[in-house]
Chains A and B, each alone.
Chain A
Amino acid sequence: MSANSLKFGLAAALAILSAPIASAQDALSPDEMAALCHGGGSICVSATIPVSRTTQAVQSWMSPDVGAAWAAGYKGKGVTITMVDDFSSTSRFSGNFGIGVQTQRHGEWTREEASMIAPSATIRSKDFSTGSYVPLAGGLNVLNLSYGMYTTAGYSVNQIGWAPEEASIISYATKGSAIVSKAAGNDAVAVGAAINGQQDYLDLALIGKSTAIFAGALSTNGTTTNKAQLAWYSDYAGSNTQVQSHFLVVGVEGDKTGLYGTSFAAPIISGYAAIIGSKFTKATPVQITNDLLNTARTDTLANYDPSIYGKGEASLSRALAPVAIH
């Protein structure tokens, strides 16, 4: 590879990380939210999302941990989750998060999922096709990346000429100014590995960054009596200890929702981070990232191995609990 730098052609390089089982369907008409997301600004506030049906309900696809942790109190209040995703294409597919079958764009699905995990969080939508800079909101910020940036394998990360969008995201993860929840990928390879001559350079760029979390998918939510396994499609942590130490897994129960892929793991991590941030209002993104990573469970996973599961299955209740109390 001789090029000194590589500018991503966004139309070709953006790859949403829902597994192939989630079938794309043609859109009938753009919804109101999508219309707001078009144009140069590309940040859309979720005020127009009809979320009333989705709030405050624990769904069967969620970890039992969520139900256990949801008590009276905050559920992401004061935290902003920015979903960097597809909010403008004509590609839509069907699924059901427990509130009825819907046909939506990829970003609308991931946004809905995050809002169901952290119903009090402010959810913003950033259409990734614009490539424009991602601004942060006041307070704690969580960025959800349920997509990858693929191109020919063999470049080094510093050869990539990032668009302002990814450059800002990578910068936030490097400086620790926002938590970045990144879908690990659906090629059943180690994070950062090439597949069919292609590589996710966004994964590579986030390795070793203090507030980056790679989200892998389990086929079910794990319990100590019914241990979970990595979903067949999910990328795994691999042998790189920098990835292992920032890799979490969560259940993506596609058999209940019709939605598969690590695209739907990342919003769960984003929602957890928002809930933790709403409890520890003075905590930094680095502290919250470490809290999630350090409290992950390994006893709910079948044959736990850090090269597969990284730090383990994210546990909201343990992340909220004290280390010690007296």
Chain B
Amino acid sequence: MKNTLLAVGLGLALVTACTSSPEEKKLPILGPREPKVTMVDGKPQVDTVYHTIPDFAFLDQDSTLVTQQTVANKIYVADFFFTSCPSICPKMKSQMLRVYEKFKDNPRVALLSHSIDPAHDTVAVLRDYADRLGVKSSTWHFLTGNRDSIFDMAQKHYYTSAMEDKTVAGGYAHSGSFLLVDGQRRLRGHYDGTNAQDVDKLLQDMDVLLAEKGK
């Protein structure tokens, strides 16, 4: 009797351990945070203010202005690249294609690929690039705009590197990071976009984040 109970208990524990973990899992909120004290009914109340991606406005491959409104209530993945990049970009893009293929029909997911060579990567060049990849602009936006604004977004807000560097092939140095951003524009994950295993994790984390928002 005791043994049966033990076995049933163990079985239950195993089943719940396997089934409940995706919902239970929560992604961290990355970046600096500050306490914000407000007075409610004469009593101080402390809220945590998380780092968020500020408002932005860039043009995509359809010449459409892409802003924070475009990704409102969506989760999105951001990266930085340029179309003529001879180093890590093809690898990043082949990994981003995996993300695209999994989520292309999910209206709550967007991908933002910022060009760090916007003088060369005009709307027409980005259009050609997106057409060649065969991806639709409603999900995957290739962005161009003011170069300094794009560098600023990368360095100060997404915490990844992107800069001009005449010493490297292609003339620009940048990391191969993919950044996962939630519906409130908070950073929730940072992945190596040139590493298939890390992108596997991103794909899982996106499911977690979508489930979190659904609650």
To the question of whether A and B form a pair in one complex, the answer is no
User: Which A residues have a C-beta under 8 Å from some C-beta of B?
Assistant: none
